[in-house]
Amino acid sequence: MFQFISPPLPHFIYCGEDTYPAGGRHSDRSGIGVFDLLIVTDGCLYMAEESAAIEIPAGSFALLRPDRAHRSTGPCLEETHFFWVHFQTLGSWHETDRELALADLRPTDLHSDDALYEIHRFAYYLPRSGKLASPDAAYVWLRRLLSLQADASSPSQWRQQLVFQELLLRLQEDTTMPERDSYLTIAEEAAAYLRRNYRDALTYKSMSESLHFHSNYVSLCMKRAFGYTPLEYLTRYRIEQAKRLLIDTNESVGRIAEETGFGSFPYFVRCFGREVGTTPKAFRMRFRQG
């Protein structure tokens, strides 16, 4: 499968559709510089990327790399119709057989007092090939891309990108991905639990009962996945909520400390200073005066 790191998201470039008669074959190309997504609606394409053979029957797709040679390995045995989509990314990508540890996707500006929000990166994955669970729905998105392509206006190009992202999401959801490592699943469930309950005092007993795992094991999973213990993760999330309230509301710093789960005003100021590098009041004034 392919792993893409975002932001930025991959961007749509161009698309089209072709119909080959029986005996027709796909052209051979090398290093075209864009990803080539092929989705077959009828018939079958017989392709290869370098030495790896790829057969794409109706209702299936294949995603070809931008930096390798693609060739036909044989003629179509029947009339074959397919869509093709070219796209590229300015972000990093590579092939992998397992999902990235979340600790490798930390924000880039952890302690900046100049930023209201941290820039969080995320990874998403697309299979090299697969069979669509709901091909007709995917075809609808492809036809929308084709219809929008005839309009060169800025709103149309914007809509193209939105439709393209929906298409990629459908490809990911419609195909079976490799099973996630159990520690990642537990870490993400623990993180979701902490985000839901960040206003409350953290008790490891309640977290353990909710997740059905011992708190020590949950802590190990979160440390491995995020690089933070549950308390460290919770503190950082509370700080992000406090930043928003400092900018968007006129509530007192003490009240914000209570609403974001810190309880103690001195503890909130101490944690905020450690994470952001300034006091809550100075942070608020920086943005209010801008």
Residue-range domains of the chain with CATH: 2-174 (2.60.120.280), 182-288 (1.10.10.60)
Does this model's pTM top 0.95? My answer is no
* 3-class secondary structure, 51: coil
Q: What is the pLDDT of residues 83-112, one digit of tens each?
A: 999 999 998 898 887 666 555 565 554 444
Rounded CA-CA distance 262/240 in Å is: 12
pLDDT of residue 143: 92
pLDDT digit string, tens, across residues 177-208: 555 567 888 888 999 999 999 999 889 999 99
Q: 78 CB contacts (<8 Å, ≥6 apart)?
A: 22, 42, 43, 44
pLDDT averaged per 10 residues, the chain (length 290): 88 95 92 94 94 93 94 95 96 80 54 58 85 88 90 90 92 65 83 94 91 91 86 93 91 94 92 92 80
Query: In sequence order, what are the beta bridge partners of 89?
Result: none
